[in-house]
Structure 1
């Protein structure tokens, strides 16, 4: 059976404040890792699953991202005058995505191992799930110092806890966004609602993962890619 094909939403609107001087004159997705902008690493993974379309949200230094992404066929959802966070940004981009189920992907992580989007498509079960998140065991992360975001039960359902880090890639149904009253909100709000209904699931990533959230993460990510 062929894997489902969903549009991809790339989150690229953030300020990247933890990157310090590196993001004073360019948006974080354009910071280079191994000679290529971060967003291009994410685009490689997105294109590999042959989505019908790719949409990226923008806000901070949006014209620079537009110059880079539009020639590559990426549709832009510009958030002005206010940034909408992940949940609000995804809801605004919904008409552009034109699907009730989508991939979403952060643009500030480097993966070493199988394509996380392909894994999600392989394990997606819409009869049981409203969201399926790629989660990385803390022991398989690079440069991460926290305890994790979730724990997972024997059936794959996620619960808030320690041990697993959300890797920044998921398949999610969009219908749950419609009745959230806030204009700007995090996807955590949607996940909490889905989790309360027992329909929030996780998939453990078998490779390694690096969040490029601060300047030191660039070197760590490049070392990870060098050993692929």
Structure 2
């Protein structure tokens, strides 16, 4: 189960609470940026790597997303009655994804530059990596506050720190998910296990990246897209 990923997980179940009134009656992946739903921008990245098995997890306004994705080759993993967070959601979707390493991709970010999934695929080394995260230098981010999530050493390994922001795209081995007892949990729990084993790595993204987690992120992302 250590080869090139043959499946991709799209995280789309969240409540989008930071978007305020914009997500009162719709899921965040259906909010439009430059006239297209965030989910379409996300699927553009995945479609470039087809054929892949693609799975999206659904919870908040799940029926709206299910209808929107009905004519796309995307399997649906519904989280009911409770949302399972990123780690629990990924584990619940494994019957659809398969047992090998997977791409995971958040559906609330816009990338300006090369397809991050291509870069991850080309730099993935399963012999030494359990996860390869795409991280963005703080100075190349828009819509993000704070000093970053990780720092990186000369080997590419990362640790909790500052300077690099996790962009929401990665390749991840999933076998460690089965050793976590909680039903709902963040992927940070799995990353911490990998950190202890020195098998958590990152790539530094060469382009720009915008977090569309808040309303002001929409305009920032649209300006970034217009500059490309």
Aligned to 2:174: 174
- The residue aligned with 1:131 is 131
**Residue segments in structure 1 that go unaligned for 5+ positions in a row:** none
Quote the residue 1:109 is aligned against. 109
Runs (4+) of structure 1 exceeding 3 A deviation are none
Question: Would you say the 8 A contact 1:109–1:168 is kept in 2?
Answer: yes
Alignment of 1:212-227 (within 5 A): 212-227=212-227
Deviating more after overlay: 49-58 vs 171-180 = 49-58
Deviation of 1:127 (Å): 0.1
Note if contact 1:130-1:200 (Cα within 8 Å) is conserved in structure 2. Answer: yes
The Cα shift of 1:73 comes to: 1.5
Deviations 1:38-92 (A, max 9, x none): 0110000001011421100000000000001121121000000000000000000
* Conserved 8 A contact 1:137-1:205: yes
Shift of 1:99: 3.2
> How does the TM-score come out when normalised to structure 2?
0.97
Paired residues, number: 226
Query: 1:144 corresponds to which residue?
Result: 144
How does the TM-score come out when normalised to structure 1? 0.97
8 Å CA contact retained: 1:59, 1:80: yes
Matched, 1:156 2:156: yes
Q: Does the 8 Å contact 2:150/2:164 carry over to 1? A: yes
Task: Please give the alpha-carbon distance, in whole angstroms, between the structure 1 residues aligned to 2:52 and 2:188.
Answer: 26
| Unaligned stretches of 5+ residues in structure 2 | none
Q: Deviations over 1:88-120 (max 9, x none)?
A: 000000010013210000000000000000000
